[in-house]
Amino acid sequence: MRLIQNGRVEKISIEHVWVRAHIPYTDYRGAGNAGGSKVWIDLDTGIKAYEEVENLYDTLEKEGFQKEIEETVKAGNAAGLETMLDQWEEQITSMDTETLYAVKRIIKHEELSYLPLSLQYEVQEEKETFAQTNDKDKDRICFEVEGKSLGTYTASELAGKNILLSFRPASDEDKEILEAYDSVFDIPAYSVYMKPVLLINGEVAAEAAGEGTTLGTSQTFTMKIRSGGRDTEVENTVTIGSMYAVTLDNQNIAGGELQDIYDETAALKDSVTKENVYSEEYLGRLLSLAGKLYFVQVDIADRIAAELYDVNSTRSLSEGITGYEVRPTSLYGMVTGITEGSLYIDVDTDAHSVVSLNGDKDAPREYMFSTGMISSLYESTVWEELTGYESVSTISILAKAQEENIDILLISKGNLDTEIEKLNTDETTKQAVINAANSGKVVTIPAEDVIIGDWHGTGYIVANPETGAGEYMICGGLNGGSVNGCTNNRSVMCMLCIGDSDGDADSGSHCICGSSVNISCILYSSRDSSCTFDGNGY
């Protein structure tokens, strides 16, 4: 609630939480000897004074970078986005940045002789007092496959952990049949039944009830997410025999969390073979690494963009799937087996609450559109970083279309009838575009499908013109990106640093074949306002 006088907001009323501490106050009061009778003291350390500091962004703004990124994003120049970000990194490393902060303002240092007896604001009403957060107020996520529960967990229970949806033999007899074959790709689909299994940090947390289903069958994987008092339900089609890592990002992925999974993955290189690489232990860890690597890079980009646009951005519990999707084979319409598939990422939820810090009403929308484009770019580059293979995302598709001088259509409800006639793509995608435009969204899509290596199709942005929030889709309904073409066991082994420099896994020598990711650079976190930039990266 706001009180406005003479066109200005003079007072606000909000729901807020503070801490009440029981301390010996007579002698202590937060300083000195802890003696005397105890009293309850209300403390709110969330309200702080800030001071501006010499920072990287002011320097970049003087050199025109902020204007350049705004123009690039507003123009939807996907082809120029990656080039511009590369140039920006070069600018940073060429600066004398040892004295520059990674944020525009820092918490003002203040020392108090005694704890204050009152809060910094007036409390109108106390609605509730509690010693711990109520279950109804906790962020949580429920996992289901075909309506069968695999458990409900709070965000804090899953924080920092690796979550994997895999499929295991439904019975001992099915296990014996599976073990009789060299690999899951050799077995006839109808001869073995598999069950969905949820693993947390490598341990089985739950398995679906029932008799199981044959290899290559499609099922619905549902996640019911509650965050900030709001409920979101997402559905993904999964294939029995595939493997899927679920990555959760609640504000940020800690640097130590990424380092741990990276170290665990690197430690596997001496024991992995072409026979065992397709397993929960090996491939499962790689998928978790890819998911965390994606969100860490997005977190960093979001914080940088928040400083550039002078906004405060609060992320809700976000979720993405990194998976290895097998390909069913069929005969006369019946699934007969599965073959090696491809790596992909599908970001189901990445929601933010954005508020301008300087009153610029356009800043939140511009921030959301900018970070959306950059996030889409990372959906392809995360696989390129880890595998060295060309990957596909909405932004890479739009960039390819621009390079080939294919018209980029902006389709809205107002021009739908004329612009949809210019769109040459499959009917399913066309209908999705029509539905989005009729709902008031603006769709950005190439007029023609593009070819990227072995991949053929299109990608498009569905944007809310008022908020800047958008969905970044590739044909087939995937809200993310994938490795171009089929990824075989040898390619996956390359991610584990096995083989020689050309990716040949037969030589037995060890390398970082195809991988360009710089973990030490990624681990930088701008949440620490004392961090500065050095010439070697972040």
Q: Binning pLDDT at 50, 70 and 90, where does residue 30 land?
A: low
Q: State the average pLDDT over residues 407-435.
A: 93
Q: State the average pLDDT over residues 498-512.
A: 36
Closest to 298 in 3D by CA, of 376, 406, 216, 208: 376
Q: Exposure of 352 by Cβ count < 10 A (0-12 exposed, 13-18 middle, 19+ buried)?
A: buried
Q: State the average pLDDT over residues 475-484.
A: 61
Calpha distance 462→468 (Å, rounded): 10
* pLDDT score, position 452: 85
- Report the predicted TM-score, pTM, of the whole model to 2 decimal places: 0.83
Q: For residue 485, report the phi and psi dihedrals to the nearest 5 degrees.
A: 85, -165
Contact 213, 240 (CB under 8 A): yes
Tens of pLDDT, residue by residue over 333-390, are 889 989 888 888 999 999 889 999 988 989 999 899 888 888 888 888 888 878 777 7
> What is the token pair recorded at 312?
């405060």
Tens of pLDDT, residue by residue over 113-170, are 778 888 988 888 888 898 888 888 899 999 999 999 999 999 999 998 999 999 999 9
Q: Binning pLDDT at 50, 70 and 90, where does residue 527 land?
A: very low
* pLDDT score, position 478: 53
Q: Binning pLDDT at 50, 70 and 90, where does residue 37 land?
A: confident
Q: Sign of the C-alpha dihedral, residues 392, 396, 398, 403?
A: negative
CA-to-CA dists, residue 66 to 88, 157, 174, angstroms:
10, 39, 59
* pLDDT score, position 482: 64
3-state class (DSSP) for residue 279: coil
